[in-house]
Amino acid sequence: MRTIKGPGVFLAQFARDEAPFNNIEGLARWAAGKGFKGVQIPTWDKRAINLELAAESQDYCDEYKGKLAAHGLVVTELASHLQGQLVALHPAFDLPADSFAPPHLRNNPKARQEWAVNQLHLAARASARFGIDRHVTFSGTLLWPYLYPFPQWPDGLIDEGFDELAKRWLPILDAFGHNGVDLCFEIHPTEDLHDGLTFEMFLARVNNHPRCNIMYDPSHLLLQSLDYLAYIDHYHERIKMFHVKDAEFRPTGKTGAYGGFQPWVSRAGRFRSPGDGQIDFKGIFSKLTGYDYDGWAVLEWECCLKNSEDGAAEGARFIRDHIIGVSTHAFDDFVKAEASSQLNRKIIGLEELA
């Protein structure tokens, strides 16, 4: 078994236009001050990284790593959630998601998708230049508007959607494989890959691609009423990344899983800072450690109540306190008998001791 690495922090929720959050040097200084050891980089945010340069220039990546190392930090992974969303986008989301692309591509779905695909190829090469072997993204959505089967699905609708999703992602998975990088899909509502069965449907269509893997975030499973601990038992071989994000689900006589079109603070299911919600993180860290998870535990801070500065500081401590330093020997080794085939056969009655 290996000790989970951490604490790390996803910078997407913290980058903004004022210092120190408007460039990687300031973000690194801030993250180190909160107690983090690694940072997960949102590749769509120019304040955090220039993805095009990272894909093409080893010098840029080496200098970038040096800026982090000056604060005792490393890059945990690169992330391309917004670009991944645009790889497969239902027309219902054209306008809400249009801002995910550069301004000159907006209102042009075809060009926007081509840009998104190229971004994923850049991310594969950039990850390799950083010496990182895994990457996180979203699958996008062709079928989410049809999640509930009314009006009744026409025959073949779901198959058609997943066939097309696989067709779009298979060349990208191959590109990640060529660069020695696992592509981890965040299992997330509004994505076509939002639970275990949808991941399996996709995995089968990409021929069980070895680079098709999972970014595990228990908050999204809790809010769907999934057994998030059993999920690890089912998919631990494909779980390569881990977001530490808490949540709580408090259904009432007026609203439940769908949320009633309410703001986050009023929804039955809402995200919380680690330790403030309902998720059993001791169980999660124990299961992941037992299954020899070799990646990072990365804070994704999203809370509808607490301020981000407190959430970050508390999150770093929370992860550090939950990481299990694995033992180098069994606790009962002091009573272990000396190895002997002859003794073993005697114990089970197969032969007498000489």
Domains of the chain: residue spans and CATH: 5-347 (3.20.20.150)
pLDDT-derived band at 348, boundaries 50, 70, 90 = confident
This prediction has a pTM of: 0.94
pLDDT value at position 340? 81
Contact of 173 with 206, CB cutoff 8 Å: yes
Residue 312, H or E segment: helix 308-322
Residue 328 pLDDT: 77
User: Which pLDDT belongs to residue 327?
Assistant: 82
Quick check: 335 pLDDT over 70?
no
Amino acid letter, 337? A
- Across the chain, mean pLDDT equals 96
Q: What is the per-residue pLDDT for 147?
A: 96
Average confidence (pLDDT) over 192-198: 98
Burial class of residue 41 (count of CB atoms within 10 Å of its CB; 0-12, 13-18, 19+): buried
CB proximity list for 348: less than 8 A, separation 6 or greater = none
Answer yes or no: is pLDDT of 353 > 60. Answer: no
The per-residue pLDDT for 336 is 75
Q: What is the rounded average pLDDT of the residues 273-280?
A: 98
CB contact at 8 A, 312 and 13: no
The answer to whether residue 187 scores a pLDDT higher than 70 is yes
Answer yes or no: is pLDDT of 350 > 90. Answer: no
pLDDT in tens, 95-115: 999 999 999 999 999 999 999
What does the alpha-carbon distance between residue 68 and residue 29 come to, in Å, rounded to a whole number?
Answer: 8
pLDDT at site 343:
80
φ, ψ of residue 135 in degrees (nearest 5)? -150, 150
Instruction: Please give the full DSSP string across 163-203, using - where no structure is assigned.
Output: HHHHHHHHHHHHHHHHTT-EEEEE--TTSS--SHHHHHHHH
User: Could you tell me the pLDDT band of residue 351, with boundaries at 50, 70 and 90?
Assistant: confident
Mean pLDDT of 291-305: 97
In percent, how much of the chain has pLDDT > 90?
92
Q: What is the pLDDT of residues 117-175, one digit of tens each?
A: 999 999 999 999 999 999 999 999 999 999 999 999 999 999 999 999 999 999 999 99
Res 354 pLDDT > 80: no
**25-35: pLDDT as tens digits:** 999 999 999 99
Cβ(273)–Cβ(315) below 8 Å:
yes
Residue 352's pLDDT is: 63
Structure tokens at 13: 């929720």
Reading the block at residue 161, the tokens are 């959607």
| Contact (CB, 8 A) for 119 and 140 | no
Q: Give the contacts of 52 (CB within 8 A, at least 6 positions apart).
A: 122
Among candidate residues 112, 111, 141, 116, the one with its CA nearest the CA of residue 51:
116
- Whether the predicted pLDDT of 320 surpasses 60: yes
